[in-house]
Chains A and B, each alone.
Chain A
């Protein structure tokens, strides 16, 4: 029992946190309606992966990867460098996402996805109705070839170009 606790619960503590955070973030992205909250969820989701990387570079009893006299063991520096890049990516994504939300708010006056989608669907339905009416009208007024027409050449000439 103690072994199980030490190995699986405490030993993998970081990974439990990572996957816990990951699921919280992912759930927020999926379940929340508010675009800002979605973005926050996305951030949590990304951050969990940062912790995953940092955890894998850690060594028990190691220091930060800086050269210090008398300290031979230091954490793997590569994951930390990698994640620095990933953090930059995450920040740019957040910035871009927030910028989009500002413009969505300007354009729709709402940042709840349901409201924005409802506005979109209303436009879409109106457009579909228009298009269907236009198609129906086009079919009704379809210029059927007159019985005495031998070819289309003449008609084309008379058409103002």
Chain B
């Protein structure tokens, strides 16, 4: 019985949230919907952890969906690389589930609350699916599942501008998704297979054709759109700013990260390092774009008046760090990119949750609204400060670890200009985080803000925020397990094959 369960775990991680979504809709009642949501999220988090351990011991867990052997059937693969991403997605989902109750009760009309849970579950199912699938077309389908649900989630934001943001994201996201579909079609045309491992072995003989080159271009551009890589980031600031707090927190911590994972799953596993970075100049292109992203987006973040928008711009800058690591295509670079992918998920999730907690009380998220909240909500403000320090990269936080490994990888690759730009971007992040902290602690409460609640945020919201903050500090103090896991993942990717 128990071994049977273990064998089915890779499928269950996707199926549980997907089936829980209609259950939530049927349950309808707020508390019942929330209980199902929490149960599903923690169940998949538990399974993801078991899968992570299993992948660590066995090197790789493979699951043939429906019993159809790969490469003909759909294969789910958990290897050291995506086990970490899976852990991030399900972990953030589990904490979001605790956070969601109070936040949704405060921001969404009560009759629609259950729909948020259902959409979040679908989004989780899609993201988990992207992470563990070993089939190119299946990845497209999961990408669309997660995207469609996130468009709807963003449209649930309280302001009317959420609607246009969601629509613009829908247009850009669909173009990106369709680009991915074209790319997958082109490689399928050349090889006749959709299984990633099978593709990897069948592509080299035909790699020297325009079709395959075009396929790589379409896939990278399509997925970069989802990952908000500069200059394809236009949808992101509005989407994160106007979405409900819980949605901003969940999506910022997971969706773009999973898209970056998908880009590099295709680049490293399917097309191969030598092809993408040797034959084609993908590395140079990505490094230049990520360098621009770091500086330009950090500069833009400094001039924002809304904290959520500020954090969104900062996310674009941080995507630059992540992509810079991967684009070095050295084992150190890849593990640095992966470490920052995870750490930034934890940092941004925590920061957006802290802002959401402030929003819960103030119904506003402009820097002026937040002025003086350091005294009114000390626990939440402290969480924001620690998260902000981690974003800057102060020692003893996760942000420090990722910047350290990223810088050493850049030094090793002799990319000194990028080192300078990364340091400059870090200095800029001190300014934008500093602006918020200054308002929180060193300014008086404005008289013109009507507060909708009193005291600290509800326990669930604080618990989730501080759990992410604690993860940041834990990684900052003892990074060896994470670094070890990332290095194993990088070694696996450089070795080729899933």
Interface residue B137 (Cβ < 8 Å from any Cβ of A): yes
Partner of A35, one of B167, B366, B367: B167
Rounded to whole Å, the gap between the CB of A92 and the closest CB of chain B is: 6
Interface residue A74 (Cβ < 8 Å from any Cβ of B): no
Beta-carbon contact of B174 and A46 below 8 Å? yes
Beta-carbon contact of A82 and B152 below 8 Å? no
Q: A85-B141, A96-B152, A116-B164 are in contact. Are A128 and B444 (CB under 8 A)?
A: no
Interface residue B161 (Cβ < 8 Å from any Cβ of A): yes
Q: A42-B175, A49-B181 are in contact. Are A138 and B161 (CB under 8 A)?
A: no
Interface residue A71 (Cβ < 8 Å from any Cβ of B): no
Interface range on chain A (Cβ under 8 Å from partner): 35 or more
Q: A26-B175, A93-B174, A116-B164 are in contact. Are A82 and B448 (CB under 8 A)?
A: no
Beta-carbon contact of B446 and A134 below 8 Å? yes
Rounded to whole Å, the gap between the CB of B141 and the closest CB of chain A is: 6
Partner of B148, one of A96, A116, A117, A137: A96
Rounded to whole Å, the gap between the CB of A140 and the closest CB of chain B is: 12
Interface residue B477 (Cβ < 8 Å from any Cβ of A): no
Taking CB atoms and an 8 Å cut-off, the chain B residues in 149-203 that contact chain A are 151-152, 155, 160-161, 163-164, 166-167, 170-171, 174-175, 177-178, 181-182, 185, 188-189
Q: Which residues of B contact A85 (CB under 8 A)?
A: 137, 141
Q: A96-B152, A100-B151 are in contact. Are A79 and B171 (CB under 8 A)?
A: no
Q: Mark B417-447, 1 if CB is under 8 A from A, else 0.
A: 0000000000000000000000000011010
Interface residue B93 (Cβ < 8 Å from any Cβ of A): no
Interface contacts (Cβ under 8 Å), in number, total 97
Beta-carbon contact of B167 and A29 below 8 Å? no
Beta-carbon contact of B167 and A100 below 8 Å? yes
State the majority secondary structure of interface residues on A.
Answer: helix
Give the complex CA separation of A120 and B165 in angstroms: 10
Instruction: Determine the residue in chain A with the shortest Cβ distance to B190.
Output: A56
Rounded to whole Å, the gap between the CB of A89 and the closest CB of chain B is: 4
Give the complex CA separation of A117 and B367 in angstroms: 24
Q: Which residues of B contact A143 (CB under 8 A)?
A: 444
Instruction: Determine the residue in chain B with the shortest Cβ distance to A93.
Output: B174
Beta-carbon contact of B163 and A49 below 8 Å? no
Instruction: Determine the residue in chain A with the shortest Cβ distance to B172.
Output: A29
Give the complex CA separation of A49 and B185 in angstroms: 9
Taking CB atoms and an 8 Å cut-off, the chain B residues in 75-107 that contact chain A are none
Give the complex CA separation of A86 and B178 in angstroms: 9
Interface 9-residue window, one of A5-13, A62-70, A101-109: A101-109
State the majority secondary structure of interface residues on B.
Answer: helix
Q: Mark B118-156, 1 if CB is under 8 A from A, else 0.
A: 000000000000000000010011001000100110010
Beta-carbon contact of A134 and B448 below 8 Å? yes
Q: Which residues of B contact A42 (CB under 8 A)?
A: 171, 174-175
Instruction: Determine the residue in chain A with the shortest Cβ distance to B138.
Output: A85
Rounded to whole Å, the gap between the CB of B481 and the closest CB of chain A is: 38
Q: Mark A42-65, 1 if CB is under 8 A from B, else 0.
A: 100110010011001000000000
Interface residue B368 (Cβ < 8 Å from any Cβ of A): yes
Give the complex CA separation of A161 and B185 in angstroms: 63
Residues of A within 8 A of B (CB): 26, 29, 35, 38-39, 42, 45-46, 49, 52-53, 56, 79, 82, 85-86, 89, 92-93, 96-97, 100-101, 103-104, 107-108, 116-117, 120, 123, 127-128, 131-132, 134-135, 137-138, 141-143, 156, 159, 161
- 26 pairs of residues in contact across A and B, judged by CB atoms under 8 Å: A26-B175, A42-B175, A45-B175, A45-B178, A52-B185, A56-B188, A86-B181, A89-B148, A92-B144, A93-B148, A93-B170, A97-B167, A97-B170, A100-B155, A100-B163, A100-B166, A103-B155, A103-B163, A104-B167, A107-B160, A131-B367, A131-B368, A134-B366, A134-B368, A138-B443, A156-B375
Residues of B within 8 A of A (CB): 137, 140-141, 144, 148, 151-152, 155, 160-161, 163-164, 166-167, 170-171, 174-175, 177-178, 181-182, 185, 188-189, 305, 366-368, 371, 375-376, 443-444, 446, 448
For the complex with contacts A42-B171, A93-B174, A96-B148, 5 further pairs of A-B residues with Cβ separation under 8 Å are A29-B175, A46-B178, A89-B141, A116-B164, A120-B164
